[in-house]
Structure 1
Amino acid sequence: MYIQKLTKLAACVLLMAGSTMTAYAQGFKDGKIWLNEDGSNYFKFTLVSQVWLRNTDLNPGSTINGFEKNNFTDIGIRRARIQAFGQVADRVFIYSQFGMNNFNYSSDRKAGFFIHDIMGEYEVVRKHLSLGAGLSAWNGLTRFSAPSVGTILGVDAPLFEQSTNDVTDQFLRKLSIYAKGKLGKLDYRLVMSSPMSPLKAAGYSPLLTSNASFSAKPAKMQLHGYFQWQFLDQEANTTAYTTGTYLGTKKVFNIGAGFQYQPDAMWRAGNNGDTIESNLQHFAVDAYYDAPINAATGTAISAYASYINFNWGKGYLRNQATMNPATGTSKPEILNGSGNGYPSFGTGNLLYGQVGYKFKNDLIGKTTLMPYASLQYAHYERLNDNMAFWDGGVNWLLKGHTSKLTFAYQSRPVYQLNAVSSGADKIDRKGSFLVQFQVFLN
């Protein structure tokens, strides 16, 4: 009798599970879980993995665990991300992203995923105006102030366009309220953010010098926005993240302009021992073109250019060292700091450009190639020589952005402090060879 009851219970459980799976299958279409019959309400998950194999010529004086090294090879997880988002009800949208960045040999072990984004949004006027709030990547200034990491043209986005990256935000995400939408061919976003405390930023010092740095005083709100005129195909603005390249599946030509402003964000020491405060105020214009050349064969071009006027206050300069392979330096006179650092952010003017060409489909079996090149060129106040960082390589598109191998070389300038001019002189160049393997479930 007992066995018969167990058999009947098991049969009921299997029947219920089968019914649930059937219902689930009927509600899963186009990579989305449909929440209503026409799919206008949905929920979706994506997953991205980017792994780097890298050989780096290190900056002079670089050390690893106290040992001087001039070259190092490492493997690291540049990005691991999970997105979960959807139109969960009419006019109601929710977006979240979890993941980690820059996990290599020197990282804390068992590093946990952290929340990159969590925000909610309400569509006030259909297509024209949505309002949202949360920890969000809705940013002003430029197109790639919030790049879609799964569709980047090369191995990395132009990170300097994320101007306050991890200083007063969390890897570009800010605690914000925002408005976004479309008015004809005009796509816009306007944002008010509450800056995070710079005291929590790596390497921050509240010590005042003659050069501007982020103020330790309670921060005032930051205002920023970005506006772009989309001449050809219209791009989606469902999420904040902008596509790197469409690989010829769309014909897009946009011209944009943006700004970023925060009163009294910066401070420095005056000549009389007083404290001089200044505003953070940046302005940018950019253009983006991504289109097929021959739709029949699949050839395509992708191009982007930006001009940014950075104003952080007198003499501001900040290094960028992506997934830094070094842990210290024995030469403090090297402005770049340790490892692969270079002065990427600063008060002054910057020009950036990138271009890529996609060869015909099925160039190598079912795969194809897309070579690319980019250049960051800047005139910063504290550098006696202009700064040029360039990056070039080729994407082997095994299956579009879903699976691709990228082979790249990056070249950066090395600067040494000049005690006489209180600036810095370019003394050398260093490089890195990179191989990235990406898998993108979208």
Structure 2
Amino acid sequence: MKQFLAPAALLGAALTLPNLALAQAPTTPPPTQTQADQATNYPQPAVAAPTFFLKDGKLPLNADASRYVKFTLLNQVWMRYNESNPGSTVGGYNVPNTYDIGIRRFRIQFYGQLTDRVFIYSQIGLNNLSYNADRKSGGTPGAAQSGTGGFFLHDAVAEYAIVKNKLSFGAGLGAWNGLARFAFSSAGTIMGLDLPTLEEATNDVTDQFGRKLSVYLKGKLGKLDYRVAISDPLLYQKAAGFVTAPGPNASFALTPPKPQYQGYFSYQLKDQESNLTPYTAGTYLGKKSVFNVGAGFVVQPEAVWYTLGSPTNVQTKAMQQYAVDVFYDAPLTTAPDAASVSFYAAGIHYDFGPGYIRNGAPMNPATGTSNPSSNTIGGFGNAFPEYGTGNSVYTQLGYKFKDNLVGTSTFMP
């Protein structure tokens, strides 16, 4: 399977309107001593007009804008050529390669800093709307990340700052996940062609496109940024293509799920990163100088099962995920238009039980196969074995040329 992709990312965040002056109440003249004084037309004192405005999508709720609501938009369009796996079909017809245009991601985000301590965050959107997707509302569940169409809720969390910046408690549907930096990537700052979905190991299996029903703690202690969470996994029976019975190769169990425990800890040696939302930047394009070393985990008791020796000898075991990673993203000089470099590497240990393998297939351009008994382990279209028991290494490296290299643009290969 070969794939060539031209992503067109339209990132919207700023709805900026000119300041709109509110109506001013008429002022009265100052107190006077005589009728003559009262009849005099005194000049009116200058009164600062309050303003109503949206700047960078933000609407302030108080004078210093420390309380606000904010809206952002994001749209990522893919235009690609894909050389599909052998036997791939589209609508029952053999199609060895495809050209397509699709919406990989569309998001509407809402932020609300409602009081000094109460913050809410919500996100809705869709993924993988391509020519073979279900149309209009609904869509289909995500099979190996190929779920199609349909708006759905991505995030809905509320949190309370117990100790400002140091300790916040939150709950809801969100991506305050454990394991590694890109288990909760910012879709708007991707450096490569797509997110490193390798680190989203239960995407649409026991969660909702990487989001989980959780209670969490987050904060910063000096240079240590941390998050820990307890999550309620979604029923595996609701996942597309779930395995209906245990076999010699492990699969997620159909029994009621146990709680999932997870955390991620990042020691930020240089500039500090925001943890307002769970999502981490792919690159700052030289606007920050970041050097982080991190480690994380995800553990769920009795999450998987398999048979040992005979079909009736069913074994259950914990799902365990552990990772360490390093992220460096910084300009090469102090010049305002300096070139910059971005580097990330992660070592991950996955334990889903014996023989576990699951494919990934982002916005799969094919719909089936003409040879279901084929030995092509990746399946059809652009699917490939992405997750499994064992050890994985992921790395990426980018170099951004100086700003304004070509007009007001530059490149980052």
Q: TM-score, normalised by structure 2?
A: 0.83
Match of 2:318 in 1: 279
- What SS does structure 2 have at the residue aligned with 1:145? helix
Structure 1 residues 94, 24: closer, same or farther in 2, change over 3 A? farther
Structure 1 residue 20: Cα displacement: 7.2
Distance 1:24 1:320 in 2: 53
Q: Which amino acid aligns with 2:235?
A: S
The structure 2 residue matched to 1:172, chosen from 204, 210, 213, is 210
Match of 2:361 in 1: 321
Distance 1:337 1:262 in 2: 28
Work out whether residues 198 and 204 of structure 1, in 8 Å CA contact, stay in contact via their aligned partners in 2: yes
Q: Cα deviation per residue 1:134-176 (whole Å; 9 max; x = unaligned)?
A: 0011100000111000001012111010110000000100000
Q: Which amino acid aligns with 2:398?
A: G
Q: Cα deviation per residue 1:225-277 (whole Å; 9 max; x = unaligned)?
A: 00010000000100000000000000000000000000000001110331011
Match of 1:368 in 2: 410
Match of 1:106 in 2: 132
Distance 1:255 1:102 in 2: 32
Q: Which amino acid aligns with 1:283?
A: Y
Match of 2:166 in 1: 128
The structure 1 residue matched to 2:91, chosen from 43, 57, 65, is 65
Structure 1 residue 294: Cα displacement: 2.5
Structure 1 residues 299, 18: closer, same or farther in 2, change over 3 A? closer
Distance 1:284 1:240 in 2: 18
Q: Which amino acid aligns with 1:270?
A: L
Work out whether residues 301 and 356 of structure 1, in 8 Å CA contact, stay in contact via their aligned partners in 2: yes
The structure 2 residue matched to 1:83, chosen from 109, 112, 129, is 109
Indicate whether 1:239 and 2:277 are aligned: yes
Match of 2:344 in 1: 304
Structure 1 residue 195: Cα displacement: 0.3
The alignment yields a C-alpha RMSD, in angstroms, of 1.6
Structure 1 residue 18: Cα displacement: 6.8
- What SS does structure 1 have at the residue aligned with 2:188? helix
Match of 1:288 in 2: 327
Structure 1 residue 26: Cα displacement: 3.6
Structure 1 residues 58, 29: closer, same or farther in 2, change over 3 A? closer
The structure 1 residue matched to 2:383, chosen from 341, 357, 381, is 341
The structure 1 residue matched to 2:393, chosen from 338, 348, 351, is 351
Match of 2:74 in 1: 48
Paired positions, count:
355
Distance 2:50 2:21 in 1: 10
Structure 1 residue 211: Cα displacement: 0.4
Match of 2:41 in 1: none
Distance 1:330 1:212 in 2: 27
The structure 2 residue matched to 1:204, chosen from 229, 242, 248, is 242
In structure 1, runs of 5+ residues without a counterpart are 1-16, 372-442
Match of 2:44 in 1: none
Q: Hey, which of these two has a bigger chunk of helix by percent?
A: 1
Work out whether residues 27 and 35 of structure 1, in 8 Å CA contact, stay in contact via their aligned partners in 2: no
Q: Which amino acid aligns with 2:344?
A: Y
- What SS does structure 2 have at the residue aligned with 1:369? coil
Distance 1:62 1:177 in 2: 42
Q: Cα deviation per residue 1:72-102 (whole Å; 9 max; x = unaligned)?
A: 1111000000100121111000000010000
Structure 1 residue 106: Cα displacement: 1.1
- What SS does structure 1 have at the residue aligned with 2:22? helix
Distance 1:243 1:77 in 2: 21
Distance 1:140 1:155 in 2: 23
The structure 2 residue matched to 1:155, chosen from 193, 198, 210, is 193
Distance 1:316 1:353 in 2: 23
Distance 2:57 2:369 in 1: 48
Q: Which amino acid aligns with 2:101?
A: I
Distance 2:184 2:83 in 1: 29
Q: Which has the larger radius of gyration?
A: 2
Work out whether residues 21 and 52 of structure 2, in 8 Å CA contact, stay in contact via their aligned partners in 1: no
The structure 1 residue matched to 2:299, chosen from 247, 250, 261, is 261
Q: TM-score, normalised by structure 1?
A: 0.78
Match of 1:37 in 2: 63
Distance 1:23 1:220 in 2: 57
Within-5 A mapping of 1:357-396:
357-371=399-413
- What SS does structure 2 have at the residue aligned with 1:160? helix
Work out whether residues 163 and 345 of structure 1, in 8 Å CA contact, stay in contact via their aligned partners in 2: yes
Structure 1 residues 27, 275: closer, same or farther in 2, change over 3 A? same
Structure 1 residue 19: Cα displacement: 2.9
Distance 2:339 2:79 in 1: 29
Aligned-pair identity in percent equals 54
Structure 1 residues 35, 27: closer, same or farther in 2, change over 3 A? farther
Structure 1 residue 42: Cα displacement: 1.1
Q: Hey, which of these two has a bigger chunk of strand by percent?
A: 1
Q: State the 4+ residue runs in structure 1 displaced beyond 4 angstroms.
A: 20-25
Q: Cα deviation per residue 1:382-410 (whole Å; 9 max; x = unaligned)?
A: xxxxxxxxxxxxxxxxxxxxxxxxxxxxx
Structure 1 residue 39: Cα displacement: 1.2
The structure 2 residue matched to 1:19, chosen from 16, 19, 22, is 22
Q: Which amino acid aligns with 1:98?
A: I
Q: Which amino acid aligns with 2:135?
A: R
Distance 1:72 1:308 in 2: 33
Work out whether residues 22 and 52 of structure 2, in 8 Å CA contact, stay in contact via their aligned partners in 1: no
Q: Which amino acid aligns with 1:277?
A: T
Indicate whether 1:145 and 2:183 are aligned: yes
Distance 2:385 2:105 in 1: 23
Structure 1 residues 18, 234: closer, same or farther in 2, change over 3 A? closer
In structure 2, runs of 5+ residues without a counterpart are 1-19, 25-47, 138-149
- What SS does structure 2 have at the residue aligned with 1:150? helix
Distance 1:34 1:238 in 2: 17
- What SS does structure 2 have at the residue aligned with 1:322? coil
Distance 2:51 2:63 in 1: 13
